[in-house]
Copies of this chain bind each other. A is one copy, B any other.
């Protein structure tokens, strides 16, 4: 537990601790203000001398691989979340660590899911000291109740790449689950019962970790093509029976919302993009895989068909809707970071215009530019938005840390950022005075679309000009907030203890906010 935390106010006026898990951190200094002066993390130079001359790095079991990789107390173990809520692998790793009596591990997943509730006993008994990575659902709740020994660190997908590249997080052992691999360690997510499409979230781990283990349930003979993960970075390979539960790894099908309210939100968003000319020939867009986002994509499709317009590219999370647009020629390229259904996986395997990306190409803020800034419009969600257009994606209005950041922060660098959100959820306003947790600074968020009206960030005078004279229900963000309060009343603020339970990193590795322990322990899960 972190005691007697020293606090400092960062550039967003948020108090953040100066040390996290015993290490100094840099407080957020404003968007585009902090510039690193260091050099990238330099892994040890390996030599072929230490690897089998015939390239066969296969060992019998995951346990053997972990022991050979030198698993011991205090190490940092990384995993990735391509298997989502169907993942068996992360649980297996810590079962082994626990069996071996290893303590104080730092678990560094690209995200965790409800299936990882299995690890709570290991957080309690000290096998795992703390988690750095998104903690969706039960683990988030556990952490919010102040039960984790260390402080959680939440990063965006791009921020995770940045942290590894910059040596902010040094990974001792990366365990990469792959749908398809060869004994040398070349791997992809395209083929086999655990197909996930791509392995981008494990890229940085493969490049920078001290030891890298590739685990597959579909070992093929060299070469495994394409090699999304390159065997030249891999120390050991393991074949196991099952990486996960295919039904939960990838949804057989993604579904558009049927809620009339959400459909209206989506339609309004698409109409906004039409009126403002954001939808134009050769444009680009990114929508998520949530029900509302999918619906936005479908409305985009209709507009594009009507106008005879093509998009140069769409950024995925891909799904069958996006794939159908690619097939119809409405999109020239899908630049995909994560496939959400089997149509996405198959399309990526077969269509050369359905391209796998990585958090490096798409999101790393500490590179020579990235793809995010080239996207014309991005449609994102939020748990809360405030009158300064600041937004929250990690905590609920009750203060519980229940979601990860994903690529959300990184996408804020697109040319136009739109958040379609309901004005309230369960009679709790979504548009508020001040967000519980700051994840994205308002200066990067352009438009809030609610079922009661659209608020445009006053910084975007260009957009304000373009909607003039249209029938779009444009309001100020304050008007939206007041409307929400009129209906729901002014919401109670959640009460917090002084204990920091997690910090939120900005895309440049600085700390943009801290999350504290929830005071009143909720009785329901």
Contact = CB atoms under 8 A, between A and B. Distances in A.
Nearest to A183: B374
Contacts of A312: 221-223
Contacts of A2: none
Contacts of A44: 38-40
A374 B333 contact: no
Most chain B Cβ neighbours within 10 Å, of A43, A235, A373: A373
A42 interface: yes
A7 interface: no
Contacts of A415: 54
B38 A41 contact: no
B368 A185 contact: yes
Given A43-B39, A47-B508, A365-B48, A353 B225 contact: yes
A48 B232 contact: no
A54 B184 contact: no
Number of this chain's copies in the assembly equals: 2
Nearest to A32: B49
Contacts of A53: 373, 413
A165 interface: yes
A42 B39 contact: yes
A234 interface: yes
A373 B48 contact: yes
A508 B50 CA distance: 13
Contacts of A230: 360-361
A233 interface: yes
Nearest to A362: B232
Most chain B Cβ neighbours within 10 Å, of A212, A226, A231: A231
A57 B221 contact: no
Contact of A45 (B47, B165, B355): B165
Contacts of A364: 232
Contacts of A185: 368-369
A42 B50 CA distance: 23
A53 B45 CA distance: 34
A55 interface: yes
Contacts of A374: 54-55, 184, 222
B51 A223 contact: no
Contacts of A38: 44-45
Interface of A: 32, 35-55, 57, 165-166, 184-185, 212, 221-223, 225-227, 230-235, 282, 312-313, 333, 335, 352-353, 355, 360-361, 364-371, 373-374, 413, 415, 508
Given A47-B365, A48-B413, A226-B355, 6 more contacts: A45-B366, A47-B508, A48-B366, A57-B369, A231-B368, A234-B368
5 contacts: A32-B49, A41-B42, A45-B165, A226-B355, A232-B360
